[in-house]
Structure 1
Amino acid sequence: MIDIGLSKMALIGVVALIVIGPEKLPRVARTVGALLGKAQRYVADVKSEVNRSMELDELKKMKDTVENAARDVEQSIQTSASEFEKDLAQASGTASADLHDPLAVVPAYRYPGKNWRLKKGAMPQWYKARSGVRTKALSGAARVARYRPQKFH
């Protein structure tokens, strides 16, 4: 960069005062300051855009590596699955075409023999009775009627 010291700045100020004049110098200084501010903002915008593009390139490279890794994993899973199908077909003595038949793989439905409408609690009733756990909830009115103090006559 340009090395501007205090003595050079003073010399530039004196020359500007002589050339421009004391009346127009403040207006020119404001204009120069505004132009320098715009130039600094422009340089900062260009730097941030370059940084963004570099980060975008890095993200693209990272995305490519992740996609390649996923593709490799998928291929390895497919090869191991095909090897497993071959081994299964050889072990069972059937052709590999039978494995792709969905009706041959799914067993027939068997009714479980349970009463699904019957609700079973997790804690047995005998344990609840022995430990004093309430098994029935009271409504608000029933609770008030039950626990209301009796009036003495």
Structure 2
Amino acid sequence: MFDVGFTELLLVGLVALLVLGPERLPVAARTAGLWIGRIKRSFSSIKAEVEREIGADEIRRQLHNERILELEREMNQSVMPPKTTRPAADSAPASPPATPSANPPAAHPAEPASTPRPDQSPDT
């Protein structure tokens, strides 16, 4: 991220030794390390919380979409075929209403069993 090499770290260490002195440098390094650790932990906890919230929102959205699809399926199953309009009284008599067949059409046609998978050759 910052692209700091060994020579830059060595230069910062020498400047800190000259500015702080050998007595205060270990205490300052320990304090800096503690603060950096606290900052890293707080950032990682915030990141984990945001990821949990994003995941929870995505799960809620998926559940909502599944509920909508379920309601749509129920609605499609309960819808009756549209009624035909009756002809006017002065025209020819209407034909008798068609009786529904005993075997209603399947909702989804079955796939042919002989379709090869894309990762296999047809002759295996």
What range is the shorter-chain TM-score in? Answer: 0.5 to 0.7
SS of the equivalent of 1:75 reads helix
Q: Is residue 36 of structure 2 the alignment partner of residue 53 of structure 1? A: no
Identity level (%): 33
CA apart distance, 1:77: 3.5
Letter of the 2:2 partner, please give it.
Answer: I
Gapped runs of 5+ residues in structure 2? 81-98, 100-124
Q: Deviations over 1:12-31 (max 9, x none)?
A: 00000010111111111110
**How far apart are the structure 1 equivalents of 2:74 and 2:31?**
64
Partner of 1:135: none
RMSD: 1.9
Partner of 1:31: 31
TM-score normalised according to structure 1 size: 0.49
SS of the equivalent of 1:22 reads helix
**How far apart are the structure 2 equivalents of 1:42 and 1:22?**
31
**How far apart are the structure 2 equivalents of 1:76 and 1:17?**
78
Letter of the 1:25 partner, please give it.
Answer: L
TM-score normalised according to structure 2 size: 0.60
Greater helix proportion? 1
CA apart distance, 1:5: 0.5
Equivalenced residues, count: 82
Of 67-76 and 19-28, more deviation after overlay is shown by 67-76
